[in-house]
């Protein structure tokens, strides 16, 4: 894309070199529209180009996003955090000074238009961009598993297409229903602003219980009030308050719950984010280091359950809500190749029940806690007690996450199955070069090997992070492939169905009622295909709990 909205184009050979002379086209949209035979577009940034195409109804099948690839490759090379723009990549290639990335755009409601803003990278000469691409192909080849790394880049690029398409479609959102929910929960708003009636009442109840004015939204005030009542409390977290025997607790907890809805998903959120019956979050694929998506503004991945009543299909349409069942344990089975766990994950039924039948005398709760504890690095409680049983029955699975934890404690990198790579440890060489100061919370001796078996709290925290990273991140690998497969299958089946929401292990497809069963099957097939594509042939199944509903809130 050029500064005037045109484009420079060239067909590329498999090594990334132009197979024909470069063509200058005055209009990007027309240029793409007139080439339906192109199977894959290589471009600098999907986020900048694709919304313009979608806005005029010109979708593309596949793409290769050079800046996405640069991020993934940098991380794999242990250089996460270095500038990722195409211009920066080219500067590194030439050994020239590397320009910093432009600052991230802040959230902007109704964000399609904000995606149009060209970044400084736009000015990179076309020949330089081609050099970066060819170099990236070579860097893929130099990774531990080139095939997987190429797949990761392809999948993340597809994710960028999905993200732009979901922003364009929008999630069906009934503002009138949302307002009704707010009225029921919060009561009416007083003229002139301030908190709504129900919150004001609850605040009064809290104050009455303490015998003085207390502001429930100020933790320091609440802690002080409890202290004056002779109750020592370290924080005002809900589970801690609920332990207390005091008349302020109930209204306090209720206040916090409603206050959160008011501030995060209340009337002003509605005003900012819902237009013409659609909520259009700006999705950022790979927004977290583990590969999970984030959204920029709008809190789309944290929609409170009670607010989901406002997500309503259009007249005659349905929402197909599909939730991957126990995704992370199934992914652990696939990546560790633990025979016992693969066997447990080789059925569509409840995984924790199968697990408890094998190793926990039928105690499903213990089985679940043990497995989640292993994945999350639990340090105390029942999970730890049951870890021994888990290790005995599923040695490869536990060893897989233990090895990842050890790597983290030792300051080494870990990777997901497809090759997404953890950030370098704080204080490692890469960080020092980048000028990031070293943490100094722990005494130097703790990490120096004089105390075998003991790791500093920083090292242990990093171990928990890398332990979880390999599972959460490999699950994100799978989810990306799921989206890519589902997108292709919906697109090729001549359906009107649209992918409208994605949240880690859950998708929502909006479709005419008569397409719903086809969509359910498409999702199921995409999940299995994603499993095979990501992890190869394993016995592990990737089933979904699927609901065809008119309202999102009816799905669970």
Partner DNA sequence: TAAATTGGCGCC
Partner DNA sequence: AAAGGGCGCCAATTTA
Binding site residues, DNA, CB under 7 A: 107, 217-220, 223, 235-243, 253, 256-257, 260, 263-264, 269, 287-290, 292, 294-299, 301-305, 323, 365, 369, 372-373, 376-383, 461, 464-465, 468-469, 472, 503-506
CA distances from 239 to 121, 243, 252 (A): 48, 7, 12
* CB-count exposure of residue 294 (10 Å: 0-12, 13-18, 19+): middle
- C-alpha distances (whole Å) from 435 to each of 76, 84, 315, 405, 473 are 20, 17, 56, 26, 27
Task: Tell me the C-alpha distance between 118 and 330, whole Å.
Answer: 41
Of 432 and 517, the one with the shorter C-beta distance to DNA is 432
**Of 311, 349, 43, 319, nearest in space to 175 by CA:** 311
Q: Which is nearer to DNA, 239 or 450 (CB)?
A: 239
CB of 9 to DNA, least distance (A): 34
Which stretches of 130-189 are assigned E, i.e. beta strand? Answer: 171-172
Provide the 3-class DSSP secondary structure of residue 545: strand
Please list, in sequence order, all residues whose beta carbon lies within 8 angstroms of the beta carbon of residue 161, skipping any fewer than 6 positions away: 46, 50, 59, 60, 62, 63, 487
Q: CB of residue 204 vs DNA: minimum separation in angstroms?
A: 17
| Least distance CB 106 / DNA (angstroms) | 8
| Polymer length in residues for the chain | 556
Using the minimum distance from each CB to DNA, give the nearer residue, 50 or 465. Answer: 465
Give the torsion sign (CA, 201, 206, 207, 208).
Answer: positive
How far apart CA 210 and CA 460 sit, in angstroms, is 41
Q: How far lies 89's CA from each of 10, 17, 276, 512, in Å? A: 20, 17, 41, 45
Smallest distance from DNA to CB 399, Å:
18
To the nearest whole angstrom, how small is the minimum distance from the Cβ of residue 147 to DNA?
Answer: 27
419 phi-psi bin (left φ>0, alpha ψ -120 to 50, beta other): left
Q: Is 36 helix (H, G, I), strand (E, B) or coil?
A: coil
Q: Which of residues 205 and 515 has its CB atom nearest to DNA in the complex?
A: 205
Please state the closest distance from residue 302 (CB atom) to DNA, in A: 4
**Shorter beta-carbon distance to DNA: residue 41 or 210:** 210
Which lies closer to DNA via its Cβ, residue 105 or residue 179?
Answer: 105
Residue 230 Cβ vs DNA, minimum distance, rounded to whole Å? 19
Reference 90, options 53, 63, 127; nearest CA is: 127
Among residues 365 and 517, whose Cβ is nearest to DNA?
365
Find the shortest distance in angstroms from Cβ 117 to DNA: 18
Nearer to DNA, 299 or 395 (CB): 299
Q: Which candidate, 330, 285, 289, places its Cα nearest to that of 462?
A: 289
CB of 5 to DNA, least distance (A): 29
**Could you identify the residue written with the tokens 């002080």?**
224
CB of 30 or CB of 301, closer to DNA: 301
Comparison of 247 and 539: residue with beta carbon closer to DNA? 247
What is the rounded distance in angstroms from the CA atom of residue 287 to the CA atom of residue 89? 20
460, burial (CB in 10 Å: exposed 0-12, middle 13-18, buried 19+) = middle
| CB closer to DNA out of 98 and 301 | 301
Comparing CB distances to DNA, the nearer of 263 and 451 is 263
Per 3-state DSSP, the chain is made up of helix, strand and coil in percentages (nearest 5) of 55, 10, 35
Helices 382-393 & 395-409, crossing angle to 10 degrees? 120
| Least distance to DNA, CB of residue 183, Å | 19
**Shortest Å distance, C-beta 516 to DNA:** 21
Tokens of residue 440, six digits: 């100094």
CB of 432 to DNA, least distance (A): 18
CB of 330 to DNA, least distance (A): 13
Least distance (Å) between residue 157 CB and DNA: 20
Question: Which is nearer to DNA, 58 or 306 (by Cβ)?
Answer: 306
Closer to DNA at the Cβ: 372 or 495?
372
Question: Which residues, in sequence order, are CB contacts of 241 under 8 Å at separation 6+?
Answer: 233, 249, 252, 253
The whole-angstrom separation of Cα 164 and Cα 50 is: 7
- Return phi, psi of residue 547, to 5°: -135, 135
Strands 23-25 and 7-9: antiparallel
What three-state secondary structure class fits 511? strand
């Amino acid at each position: 894309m050029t500064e005037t909205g045109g484009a420079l184009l060239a067909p590329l050979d498999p090594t990334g070199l132009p197979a024909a002379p470069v063509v200058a086209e005055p209009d990007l949209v027309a240029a793409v529209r007139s080439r339906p035979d192109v199977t894959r577009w290589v471009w600098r940034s999907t986020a900048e180009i694709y919304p313009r195409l979608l806005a005029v109804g010109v979708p593309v099948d596949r793409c290769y996003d050079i800046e996405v690839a640069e991020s993934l490759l940098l991380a794999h090379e242990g250089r996460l955090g270095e500038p990722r723009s195409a211009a920066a990549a080219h500067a590194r290639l030439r050994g020239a000074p590397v320009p910093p990335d432009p600052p991230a755009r802040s959230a902007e409601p109704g964000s399609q238009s904000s995606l149009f803003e060209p970044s400084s990278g736009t000015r990179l000469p076309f020949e330089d961009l081609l050099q970066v691409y060819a170099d990236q192909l070579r860097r893929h080849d130099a990774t531990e598993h080139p095939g997987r790394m190429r797949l990761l880049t392809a999948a993340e690029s597809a994710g960028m297409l999905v993200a732009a398409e979901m922003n364009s479609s929008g999630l069906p959102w009934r503002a009138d229903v949302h307002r009704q929910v707010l009225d029921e929960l919060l009561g009416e708003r007083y003229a002139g602003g301030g908190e709504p009636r129900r919150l004001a009442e609850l605040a009064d109840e809290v104050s009455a219980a303490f015998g003085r004015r207390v502001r429930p939204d100020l933790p320091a005030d609440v802690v002080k009030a409890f202290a004056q009542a002779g109750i020592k409390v370290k924080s005002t977290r809900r589970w801690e308050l609920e332990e207390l025997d005091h008349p302020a607790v109930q209204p306090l907890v209720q206040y916090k719950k409603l206050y959160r809805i008011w501030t995060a998903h209340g009337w002003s959120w509605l005003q900012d984010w819902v237009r013409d019956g659609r909520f259009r979050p700006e999705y950022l694929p790979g927004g977290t280091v583990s590969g999970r998506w984030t959204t920029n503004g709008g809190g789309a991945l944290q929609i409170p359950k009670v607010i989901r009543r406002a997500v309503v299909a259009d007249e005659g349409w349905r929402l197909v809500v599909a939730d991957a069942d126990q995704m992370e344990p199934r992914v652990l089975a696939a990546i560790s190749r633990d025979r016992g766990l693969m066997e447990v994950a080789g059925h569509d039924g409840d995984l924790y029940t199968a697990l408890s039948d094998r190793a926990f005398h039928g105690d499903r709760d213990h089985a679940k806690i043990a497995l989640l504890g292993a994945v999350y690095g639990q340090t105390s409680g029942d999970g730890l007690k049951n870890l021994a049983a888990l290790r005995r029955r599923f040695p490869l699975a536990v060893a897989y996450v233990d090895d990842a934890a050890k790597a983290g404690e030792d300051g080494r990198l870990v990777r997901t199955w497809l090759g997404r790579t953890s950030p370098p440890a704080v204080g490692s060489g890469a960080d020092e070069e980048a000028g990031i100061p070293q943490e100094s919370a722990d005494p130097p001796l703790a990490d120096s090997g004089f105390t075998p078996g003991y790791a500093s709290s920083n090292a242990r925290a990093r171990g928990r992070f890398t332990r979880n990273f390999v599972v959460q991140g490999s699950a994100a690998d799978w989810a990306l492939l799921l989206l890519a497969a589902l997108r292709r299958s919906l697109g090729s089946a001549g359906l009107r169905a649209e992918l409208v929401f994605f949240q880690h292990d859950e998708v929502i497809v909006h479709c005419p009622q008569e397409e719903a069963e086809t969509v359910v099957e498409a999702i199921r097939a995409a999940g299995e295909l994603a499993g095979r594509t990501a992890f190869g042939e394993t016995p592990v199944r990737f089933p979904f709990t699927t609901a065809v509903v008119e309202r999102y809130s009816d799905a669970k």
